[in-house]
Amino acid sequence: PGLDSVPLTIGHHNRRMKGEKAEGKTHNLKSRRSKRKKTQTNFFGIERDTGEGHGDDMGEGRGKKAKIKAMYDSRARSSVNPCVHHPPKPPPRPKKSKKSDSKRSPVPTRNKHGELVFKDYPKFRPNLTPKEVLKAGAFGGTYFRTIRSAVTNQTHKGRDAVKEYPKDWFEGLEPKVHLHSPIYNPAINKYGVRCGGGLDMWETSGWIAAQDPYGWFEWYCRFYLGRRTSDDHRQISRGLGVFGPKGRWRNNLIGKCARGGRSFDDFSVSPVIRQALLHWGYHLTERDANAYVRKKGLPPLPPPLGTCPDARHVPKAKQPYFDPNTMQKLPMSKLKGL
């Protein structure tokens, strides 16, 4: 209950042919059935070819209809959260690229400012590696949980999703707590707060590409390790829009510090924005903060507090738990036995 389902549009209709006898002589549709391409309709109403004369890619046999379920009810969610769209926006379609998807680029290097430099995308300058993001505490421990993707129509197991990454990325982390948890726990996060939307918002907004069903951070992990695809330009543009020199949330945080007379490294200033920036591979630096203050003529920032970059922020109020698919608060009754 509460889950959207879309049946596969596979099947045929027996029709009486013109001139057939009244005793109901049926027309042989065997040849038609074998030649007809079968298609699979996903959560967004987009059909995908599933092969000729075979079951679909979800393991259904011929003639069967498989129900495709999302991990949320987009209609119900859109009525309470304007960021959730119903009907969902279609995901980005794959584009033909002149570059071979099998081509690998070298792992980035750091410049003297601590920024990661990708030679083929020099304007893209995050300053945290995927390993550093995870080690700091991110996504409430849920990012690589098992999900049922409405984009791919497949179940993606969290334990399988992390196998492609270096093992040292996860050293010191408890997988059940920091990677695969089905419960979003803000206490796992570096800044002790929840931030961002749930899987419902990401998928129905058309942000998720089938190649990276977990989202932007999955794309970033693979991009960091050298994978290059036709989706890179879109994802880099999204990242720069968050933490680049003109990034909305980076500059929002700097403005709050300047107007409030607070140091750039005062973690009590907008911990939610700081956590969001962390998820996008960035933490605010004194150099970036002062550059924006000068550019906009904002009040000068006070001297730094000298906060250790690895320090954690603990909010005064106790934080509740959340469903990572919808970011709704979870009642205690649903937490029993977990």
At residue 333, the pLDDT reads 74
Q: CB neighbours (10 Å) of residue 282?
A: 25
DSSP, res 103: -
Ranges of the chain with pLDDT below 50: 1-31, 33-41, 43-66
Residue 298 lies in a domain: yes
Q: How far is CA 249 from CA 113, 134, 158, 242, 304, in A?
A: 20, 20, 29, 5, 20
At residue 292, the pLDDT reads 99
Nearest CA among 318, 310, 302 for reference residue 269: 302
- State the helix-helix crossing angle for 232-243 and 248-259, rounded to 10 degrees: 10
Residue 62 lies in a domain: no
Q: CB neighbours (10 Å) of residue 312?
A: 13
Residue 19 lies in a domain: no
At residue 12, the pLDDT reads 39
Q: Which residues contact 318 (CB under 8 A, 6 or more apart)?
A: none
Residue 4 lies in a domain: no
Nearest CA among 132, 145, 133, 134 for reference residue 199: 145
Residue 7 lies in a domain: no
Residue 310 lies in a domain: yes
Total count of domains within the chain: 1
Residue 184 lies in a domain: yes
CA 264, CA 255: separation in Å to the nearest integer?
Answer: 10
- Three-state SS for 91? coil
Measured at the CA of 183, the angle between CA 249 and CA 186, to 5 degrees, comes to: 40
Residue 222 lies in a domain: yes
Measured at the CA of 70, the angle between CA 196 and CA 178, to 5 degrees, comes to: 45
Quick: pLDDT tens for 200-212: 999 999 999 999 9
Nearest CA among 198, 196, 138 for reference residue 170: 138
Nearest CA among 194, 177, 225, 219 for reference residue 326: 194
pTM of the model: 0.80
At residue 228, the pLDDT reads 98
Question: What residue numbers bound the domain in which 169 lies?
Answer: 109-334
CA 200, CA 80: separation in Å to the nearest integer?
Answer: 12
At 34, which amino acid appears?
S
At residue 1, the pLDDT reads 35
Burial classification of residue 259, based on how many CB atoms lie within 10 Å of its CB (0-12 exposed, 13-18 middle, 19 or more buried): exposed
